Amino acid sequence: MPSFVLNALLDEDTSVELARRLREQGHDVERVVDLRELGDGVDDAEVHTDAEEHDRVIITHDEGFFNRCLNAEGAFRLLWIPDQQAFEPYEKAEMVANAVAIIKEYERIEDCPRAIALTATFLE
């Protein structure tokens, strides 16, 4: 179990398998499609608002979310996996784990970048 638990909201473009693997790492994970107040096809703005209200980090493959979060003010809020088809769920979970290791190095979460793009470098 990680000492830093990610309170994550997986966008509708993420898999059940990724959610399962992140839970196995000890993270608190909800999927947009499983939440009655959000659901499949929900507008990105609603997902963003829900994540802000519930202090959740969005995990997505959606570049629009990355741009929205990167250009917004506030604390760390998003992990973006740009190449959805290039990685298996176990690799994506490893990328998240490596990102969490970096995030834990910040003295305050407010000092962490608002959005982080998870590329193949997060598998090294």
Q: Locate the domains of the chain by residue range.
A: 7-123
Write the single-letter amino acid at 94.
E
- Residue 55 tokens, joined: 């202090």
Residues 6+ apart with CB under 8 A from 120: 86, 87
In this predicted model, what pLDDT tens digit does every residue of 3-39 receive, in sequence order? 567 889 888 888 999 999 999 999 999 998 887 888 7
Q: Would you say 63 and 82 are in contact if contact means Cβ atoms under 8 Å apart?
A: yes
Rg (CA), the chain: 13
In this predicted model, what pLDDT tens digit does every residue of 69-121 receive, in sequence order? 777 776 667 888 988 889 999 999 999 999 998 888 888 777 888 888 899 99
- pTM of this prediction? 0.86
